[in-house]
A and B are shown apart, each in its own frame.
Chain A
Amino acid sequence: MYTIETALKQELRDAEASALIKKAGTYFCIPVQSARSIHLVTIEADLTKDDLERVQKEIFTNPVTRISSLAPLDISFDWCIWIGFRPGVKDNPGDTAMEAVADLLGRPFKPDEGIYTSRRYCLKGADLTRQDVEKIAQELLSNPIIQRYKIFSRDQWDPKKGADVKPARVILDHIPCFDFIDIASDQTLSQISDQRNLALNARDIPIIRNYFLDPGVLAQRRKMGLSKPTDVELEYISQARSDHCNHNTFNGIFRYMDVLSGEKTIENSLFKTYIQQPTLALKEKKDWVVSVLWDNAGVGEFDEQNNYVVTGETHNSPSNMEAYGGAITGIVGVYRDPMGTGLGSRLFMGSFGFCVGDITYDGPLKPPLHPRRLLDGVVEGVKDGGNKSGVPTTFGQTLFDAGYMGKSLVFVTALGIMPKQVAGRPSHEKKTSPGDLIIMSGGRVGKDGIHGVTASSESYSENTPAGHVQIGDPYTQKKMHDFLLVCRDEGLIQFITDNGGGGLSSSIGETAMISNGCLVHLDRVPLKYEGLDMWEIWVSESQERMTIAVTPADLDRFMALSKEHGVESTVIGEYTDSGKLHITYKEKTCAYVDMDLLDKGFPAWEFDAVWLPPETRGLFEPVIRAPKDFNALMTAMLARPNICSKEWIIRQYDHEVQGGSVIKPLVGVNRNIPSDASVTRPVLTSKKGLAFSQTLLPWYSKIDAYHMMTCTIDEAVRRLIAVGGSFAHIGGVDNFCWPNIAYDARTNPDGTFKAAQLVRACRALKDACVAYEIPLLSGKDSMYVDGHLEGAFGERVKVSALETVQFSATSVIADVVRCQTLDPKAAGDYIYVAGITKNELGASEYYDMFGKTGRNVPQVIFAANKILYKAVEKAICLEIPASCHGVARGGIGVHLALMTMAGGLGMDIDLSCVPSDAQDLPDEVLLFSESAGRFLLTMAPDQALVFEKLCRGLAVRRVGTVTTQNDSLKIKGIQGDSIVDLSGKALADAFNKPFGDMI
């Protein structure tokens, strides 16, 4: 065993160490005077001295930048921290090092050999205490779930032994086996379910027992040497019946009651009523909708030759515990969905949505990770996952609310493109047939990610197992992606799906339904290390794997391409039409159940939903008299965390790889104002573009989740229209994140209310989608966004997130050169407000600043907005406006400021001209009301006539003029007095203040 230590030469800037010094200072006021980082590569293999030197020199030691040594580097310190992965945690650099060393030396690694990476930080600081260094190790550098650390003072350090690194090899001293499970009574099975973390629903247990006790079933099983159910079988049922896989909540029965109106309704399936039915109806109506509601992602038409694919996911629970690992696994994971849609699409963009607690929180509650650290981690996870996948991250939002400290939300969205026809077949169709081989491609299987889906179907508590936290590997997946696209184009793929939640159990279990059976040899599944039990192999969620059906005739070609691309692929079984899910291990059957077992009358979940309208909950408009200092108010609004610049996050994400960037996530003269939507050319030889927007407005759920949902969708549509999107083609993706809705008098006393909020949000979803003709191309739900956080006295306080929906919207743009951005472009242009401003400050950013909620939540008037949106679409198509911007969170005031900064020009505004529904709306309402359906536009004066004609009869009015770059944002109040006069610099200073130094 050898450890190579390398470090940047002393005279070079060590950015990693600098970041550490900065964070230690700003987060904890710990004064580190200087630091250096050392990379350790521990090689557990017998290498000759020459080979070792060659490896050290050629791979690990850049002669220009690094020093290296086979003994601990003699770098002085007051304290040294060593950080290494725990055994079994994915060590991506360790794996690439092995690949490189094996290639250089022409010798493969044996099963008991390996390479492991770790880090060492040499800190200097006269005043540093052990306590300080522990804090740095624990709260900046490592997470006990995935890492280990050691701390050395100068005196403790043995210069020969160094950090004394042991290989992080997994050794499971265990003979793989499977167990039979006792089903003597419901109670026995229930107990076993708890012990084994099966998370079986109590009401499912009798059905499961009935099946296995059925004489006919028993007779068939006996022929295979089975009687009582095996752990493999029960794990399969547990995965398939989990809320994550089966969407029990959305398919559940809701007894809804409105306490005010007395309305009582039974909702038999929110999914069928509010998602499936309207989407299928729209599919009939809209030619561009190609495939919805069954595959890994929805499919829409892009142009005559190509279809696009879109889906969105969340990765909340793992990110909550290990932010980097959770987020990178999330984005890399969602990228497998388009890869597994139809016969496989090529990824062309992704996006993110982060919802975290207050990053300056210093109260008594102890979340698993402080929101600040959590945000750092998820930002970095999506950076590595997205950038290394070679997929541009063209859009993203970050928002803050105290509720997300219970569980943070990490939304990730993926879009792909595929030719309509591949090898003479429609690319969106696929099936598994008896005789097709089942192939697993990509990564290997380990213990990681076991019970991920059942864990994500629970609230966070001190007992949440950490085993489901993983670290995604975009490198392995990128190789696999390249490989699969070649296979697709050669017509080698009959069926493809990804291994995500539930692992092989879900991917094979679900795809074998199509052929009606399968035979799987679990002993053929390649493992990361020996010693996994059969059920573990079956349900492991180890990442970067796809399940593919290939005909025996195509096998050789498939395997040859796999080898050329450096991808591991293994035949692990075949699809059959036996009607049975048949699993063996070394020729011995360990599962043999009917494919239709899951249709055996498992009961729907049931919920009571009691709606308490806002007026019954003591919500009133707050009494806040007119502000006097609007300049200070405006800058305070711009500096609010949910409004201010998050450029530092966006800049870290490659948003233009693949060369198709048209509208970037940040626009304006200083390229720092978030754009309404992104536009990308997925087909570089086409004039067409794909516009993409996302919206999150969870605050409105404080008043009514119905209006949260309609406002969210309305804004997503408005954003698309603002950049040049087409109202005739809007695709939607709904991602629900909801606190637990199952009532329990002790643990969830407001469960019925949250259930009613869910029903209302679903009703709104349908209302909006029908009104705007938006088919839901894809959607997911994550139902347990609560946390039980330890407080000052050892108590645990439940913290629930706001009822949140991220809505993503897509549109196809006929010719990208007609797109528009939000920055005013010339002095002298006219400024218009389109859409009516009402007294709708309920749950607004303005009220939030005063700690108020109010009741006047914005309400969407679909019919009126639809006419206005079509008019604006027409105007952009005719190239009338010089800029267009949808008014969103913060209202007209905030969005005029954003446009002022984006254009680098002044603006003169007269608030008395703003179209409103009442004569007497005060200045602060006109400025900060968040009424839906509004735009700000600028245009050359010579375009005004035709624009006003186009908008005749609509609430569209000229409110001012764009002024020169030396001018400021000047706003005249309704009394005719100047209330705001702020230079672009003053606005920018406020906007950049919270995060400006994050770079």
Chain B
Amino acid sequence: MRQVKALILTGFGLNCDNETALAFELAGAQSHRVHINAVIAGKVRLSDFHILAFGGGFSWGDDHGAGVIQAVKLKNHIGEDLLSFVAAGKLVIGICNGFQALVNLGLLPGLDKEYTRRSVAITYNDCGSFRDQWVHLTAAPKSPCVFTKGIQAAEFPVRHGEGKFIADPDVVSALFANRQVVFQYADENAHPAEGVFPLNPNGSVQDIAGICDPTGKVFGLMPHPEAYNHVTNHPDWTRHKQMQKRLNKPFDTKDTSGIQLFRNGVDYIRERFF
């Protein structure tokens, strides 16, 4: 059987590569963790892969705006390769620092299929500091995003100091009109947070937590789906388990919504490319 191959970038302060690789493996792909310099040097070619993951971390220490230097370096060295990858209809996912890199590269939001323009930004949290907390997300039902197919709501952790999504009002309107707003921060009933802290942990406009390009194949989000790779990652899992026990039901330890998100991507590749 042919393998869906996912490339997870590593190096220069990125740090979620192991669990992102694991998440893709659990979702049925073959994961390759590859150093950014190996891609730049041409030792590993993007075109040999189906999915490209920009993972979480602190690339270049986030010193001059999160994801900025990573974006400049990649654009400078392999900008064309990235555009060809996207043009080939393959999948790109950016999580946290990866999302920040995608918006600085211009691969997101890709309005009018213009993949080099910076038109949105992800900046400092309103609360003024880094936050690690789990958030409720509501997914846009008609979004073209291939990763969130069949997902209406999800819970993942956010872990960032710069997660506030901002853009000009007309850009935001366009994103909603194109259904490019994939995830919004929400309350436990999947109703958008309406800016209320800490449901919306960073002050993002319109509670935006993740967006895709108009094709739905380039996807970026601040929360970490790969950090929900096991039932015991969820902050309430001991309570869930106890409730199941009271109902005489076994505790289901199979898929999490985190892995489901990656599986959607892998399945899409299988359907379209194999």
Interface, chain A (partner B; CB < 8 A)? 8, 12-13, 15-16, 18-19, 58-60, 62-66, 92-93, 96-97, 99-100, 103-104, 383, 387-390, 474-475, 478-479, 482, 564-566, 651-662, 664, 667, 669, 671, 681, 684-685, 816-817, 819-821, 823, 825-826, 879, 882, 940, 999
Query: Residue of A at shortest CB range from B123?
Result: A65
The answer to whether A103 touches B232 (Cβ under 8 A) is no
CA–CA, A19 to B129, complex, Å?
10
CA–CA, A821 to B237, complex, Å?
10
Given contacts A64-B119, A390-B58, contact A103 B37 (CB under 8 A): no
B131 close to chain A: CB less than 8 A? yes
Name 24 A/B residue pairs within 8 A (Cβ), A-sorted.
A15-B124, A62-B68, A64-B168, A99-B69, A100-B73, A103-B73, A104-B76, A475-B13, A482-B11, A565-B11, A651-B132, A651-B133, A656-B132, A657-B15, A659-B233, A661-B227, A684-B230, A817-B231, A817-B232, A821-B239, A825-B242, A882-B242, A940-B246, A999-B127
Given contacts A58-B72, A662-B232, contact A16 B16 (CB under 8 A): no
Q: Pick from B14, B134, B238 the residue with the most CB of A within 10 Å.
A: B238
Query: Residue of A at shortest CB range from B56?
Result: A657
Query: Residue of B at shortest CB range from A58?
Result: B72
The answer to whether B128 touches A100 (Cβ under 8 A) is no
CA–CA, A656 to B157, complex, Å?
8
The answer to whether A62 touches B118 (Cβ under 8 A) is yes
Partner of B118, one of A64, A96, A478, A879: A64
B159 close to chain A: CB less than 8 A? yes
B10 close to chain A: CB less than 8 A? yes
The answer to whether A59 touches B128 (Cβ under 8 A) is no
The answer to whether A65 touches B72 (Cβ under 8 A) is no
B87 close to chain A: CB less than 8 A? no
CA–CA, A281 to B229, complex, Å?
40
Query: Residue of B at shortest CB range from A478?
Result: B13
Partner of B76, one of A103, A669, A821: A103
Query: Residue of B at shortest CB range from A661?
Result: B233
CA–CA, A820 to B241, complex, Å?
10
B130 close to chain A: CB less than 8 A? yes
B152 close to chain A: CB less than 8 A? no
- Of residues 164 through 183 on chain B, the ones whose CB sits less than 8 Å from some CB of chain A are 166-168
CA–CA, A387 to B253, complex, Å?
29
Given contacts A16-B128, A97-B63, A658-B19, contact A817 B253 (CB under 8 A): yes
The answer to whether A8 touches B11 (Cβ under 8 A) is no
The answer to whether A564 touches B38 (Cβ under 8 A) is yes
The answer to whether B63 touches A93 (Cβ under 8 A) is yes
Query: Residue of A at shortest CB range from B125?
Result: A15
CA–CA, A13 to B162, complex, Å?
12
B243 close to chain A: CB less than 8 A? yes
The answer to whether B129 touches A999 (Cβ under 8 A) is yes
B150 close to chain A: CB less than 8 A? no
| Residues on the B chain within 8 Å of A940, using CB | 246
The answer to whether A18 touches B128 (Cβ under 8 A) is yes
The answer to whether B15 touches A478 (Cβ under 8 A) is yes
The answer to whether A100 touches B232 (Cβ under 8 A) is no
| Residues on the B chain within 8 Å of A97, using CB | 63-64
Chain B's interface: helix, strand, loop or mixed, by majority? mixed
The answer to whether A826 touches B22 (Cβ under 8 A) is no
Given contacts A59-B69, A59-B72, A104-B76, contact A64 B129 (CB under 8 A): no
Tally of A-B Cβ pairs under 8 angstroms: 195
- Of residues 187 through 234 on chain B, the ones whose CB sits less than 8 Å from some CB of chain A are 203, 224, 226-227, 229-233
Q: Pick from B64, B157, B231 the residue with the most CB of A within 10 Å.
A: B64
The answer to whether A64 touches B120 (Cβ under 8 A) is yes
Query: Residue of A at shortest CB range from B70?
Result: A100
Q: Which 5 A/B pairs are nearest by Cβ-Cβ distance?
A: A390-B15, A659-B19, A64-B121, A475-B61, A93-B63
Q: Pick from B41, B104, B203, B241 the residue with the most CB of A within 10 Å.
A: B241
| Residues on the B chain within 8 Å of A387, using CB | 58, 130, 159
CA–CA, A388 to B162, complex, Å?
13
| Residues on the A chain within 8 Å of B22, using CB | 659, 684-685
The answer to whether B238 touches A658 (Cβ under 8 A) is no
Query: Residue of A at shortest CB range from B119?
Result: A64
Q: Pick from A19, A100, A819 the residue with the most CB of B within 10 Å.
A: A100
Given contacts A96-B63, A564-B41, contact A659 B253 (CB under 8 A): no
B84 close to chain A: CB less than 8 A? no
In the assembled complex, how far is the CB of residue A306 from the closest CB belonging to chain B, in whole angstroms? 14
| Residues on the B chain within 8 Å of A390, using CB | 13-16, 57-58
Partner of A100, one of B56, B72, B167: B72
The answer to whether A657 touches B235 (Cβ under 8 A) is no
In the assembled complex, how far is the CB of residue B20 from the closest CB belonging to chain A, in whole angstroms? 8
| Residues on the A chain within 8 Å of B38, using CB | 564
Query: Residue of A at shortest CB range from B73?
Result: A103
In the assembled complex, how far is the CB of residue B118 from the closest CB belonging to chain A, in whole angstroms? 5
B114 close to chain A: CB less than 8 A? no
| Residues on the A chain within 8 Å of B13, using CB | 388, 390, 474-475, 478-479
B12 close to chain A: CB less than 8 A? yes
B85 close to chain A: CB less than 8 A? no
B273 close to chain A: CB less than 8 A? no
The answer to whether B64 touches A96 (Cβ under 8 A) is yes
The answer to whether A664 touches B61 (Cβ under 8 A) is no
The answer to whether B239 touches A475 (Cβ under 8 A) is no
In the assembled complex, how far is the CB of residue A470 from the closest CB belonging to chain B, in whole angstroms? 16
In the assembled complex, how far is the CB of residue B81 from the closest CB belonging to chain A, in whole angstroms? 17
| Residues on the A chain within 8 Å of B167, using CB | 64
B268 close to chain A: CB less than 8 A? no
- Of residues 1 through 46 on chain B, the ones whose CB sits less than 8 Å from some CB of chain A are 10-16, 18-19, 22-23, 35, 37-38, 41
| Residues on the A chain within 8 Å of B230, using CB | 659, 681, 684
| Residues on the B chain within 8 Å of A474, using CB | 13, 58, 61
The answer to whether B238 touches A652 (Cβ under 8 A) is no
The answer to whether B130 touches A667 (Cβ under 8 A) is no
B245 close to chain A: CB less than 8 A? yes
If A390-B57, A475-B63, A478-B58 are given as contacts, then 18 extra A-B residue pairs at C-beta distance below 8 Å, sorted by A number, are: A12-B166, A15-B126, A19-B128, A60-B64, A93-B61, A96-B60, A383-B129, A390-B16, A475-B60, A479-B13, A564-B35, A565-B11, A659-B230, A661-B227, A662-B233, A667-B235, A817-B253, A999-B129
CA–CA, A565 to B36, complex, Å?
9
The answer to whether B72 touches A104 (Cβ under 8 A) is yes
Task: Provide the B73-106 mask, 1 if CB < 8 A to any CB of A, else 0.
Answer: 1001000000000000000000000000000100
In the assembled complex, how far is the CB of residue B149 from the closest CB belonging to chain A, in whole angstroms? 23
| Residues on the B chain within 8 Å of A96, using CB | 60-61, 63-64, 69
CA–CA, A654 to B227, complex, Å?
12
CA–CA, A919 to B18, complex, Å?
57
CA–CA, A667 to B57, complex, Å?
25
B65 close to chain A: CB less than 8 A? yes
Q: Pick from A60, A92, A390, A664 the residue with the most CB of B within 10 Å.
A: A390
Partner of A564, one of B37, B72, B119, B125: B37
The answer to whether B126 touches A656 (Cβ under 8 A) is no
CA–CA, A821 to B125, complex, Å?
30
Query: Residue of A at shortest CB range from B25?
Result: A685
CA–CA, A200 to B243, complex, Å?
65
CA–CA, A103 to B69, complex, Å?
10
CA–CA, A279 to B172, complex, Å?
63
Query: Residue of B at shortest CB range from A904?
Result: B239
| Residues on the B chain within 8 Å of A59, using CB | 64, 68-69, 72
The answer to whether B61 touches A651 (Cβ under 8 A) is no
In the assembled complex, how far is the CB of residue A38 from the closest CB belonging to chain B, in whole angstroms? 14
CA–CA, A823 to B240, complex, Å?
12
| Residues on the B chain within 8 Å of A62, using CB | 65, 68, 104, 118, 121, 123
Partner of B238, one of A92, A653, A654, A819: A819
| Residues on the B chain within 8 Å of A669, using CB | 236, 239
In the assembled complex, how far is the CB of residue B167 from the closest CB belonging to chain A, in whole angstroms? 7
| Residues on the B chain within 8 Å of A817, using CB | 231-232, 241, 251, 253
Query: Residue of A at shortest CB range from B16?
Result: A657
CA–CA, A963 to B220, complex, Å?
44
Partner of A656, one of B69, B231, B233: B233
